[in-house]
Structure 1
Amino acid sequence: MPVVIHVPKAGEYYHVPLLLSKYGGSTYRGS
């Protein structure tokens, strides 16, 4: 289940890293 955190100006910035991080992929962390 996709983890999407609604954060102002960071909504699309957080939902991607969290998804990958959940599956062991924090590549977009700091992107």
Structure 2
Amino acid sequence: AHPFVDVVPIRFGISDADQHYHVPLLASPFSYSTYRGS
């Protein structure tokens, strides 16, 4: 089976370049999700 999604673009802004950011990406062959981590 071919995956439903083969490219996942994630765009986000950074308001403070000195901060630490964590952007997790959860992926499977047929779906994906992302959220702003803690």
- Common topology (TM > 0.5): no
Normalized per residue, which structure has more strand? 2
Larger radius of gyration between Structure 1 and Structure 2: 2
TM-score where L is the length of structure 1 = 0.29
Structure scoring higher RCO (CA < 8 A, sep ≥ 6) equals 2
